């Protein structure tokens, strides 16, 4: 899980990729075409393609070819796993200190 989490967090590692990911999260399950994402983010097409590739490789974006169009969707399951991973240890030290002092 550590390697998968590291890849997912690395994929979010730029302002532009975060912007794209948040745009796809806002769009929900229907997803967006590349041109829709470009309209909403104002990222140049070649740069956008690079960011989408990086997000897909990190498992954060799913791409589905429908005819000649590619629909991009946020991978909500992957995002949920990343959130659970990073929050799994939340407050563990604080709870341990309280148990030792109690």
pLDDT of residue 100: 81
Tens-of-pLDDT digits for all 102 residues of the chain?
Answer: 889 999 999 999 999 999 999 999 999 999 999 999 999 999 999 999 999 999 999 999 999 999 999 999 999 999 999 999 999 988 888 867 777 876
pLDDT of residue 2: 87
Contacts of 71 (CB under 8 A, 6+ apart): 30, 31, 32, 33, 63, 64, 65
Q: Residue 37 is part of which domain span?
A: 2-101
Please report, for the domain that includes residue 52, its CATH number. 1.10.10.10
pLDDT of residue 92: 83
Q: Phi/psi at 63 (nearest 5 deg)? A: -120, 130
Number of domains in the chain: 1
Q: Tell me the pTM.
A: 0.86
């Amino acid at each position: 899980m550590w390697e998968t989490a590291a890849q997912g967090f690395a994929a979010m590692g730029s302002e532009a990729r975060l912007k794209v990911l948040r745009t796809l999260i806002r769009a929900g399950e229907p997803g967006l075409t590349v041109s829709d994402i470009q309209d909403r983010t104002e990222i140049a097409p070649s740069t956008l393609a690079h960011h989408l590739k990086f997000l897909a490789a990190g498992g954060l974006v799913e791409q589905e070819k429908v005819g000649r169009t590619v629909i991009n969707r946020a991978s909500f399951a992957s995002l949920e796993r990343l959130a659970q991973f990073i929050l799994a240890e939340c407050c563990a030290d604080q709870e341990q200190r309280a148990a030792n002092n109690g």
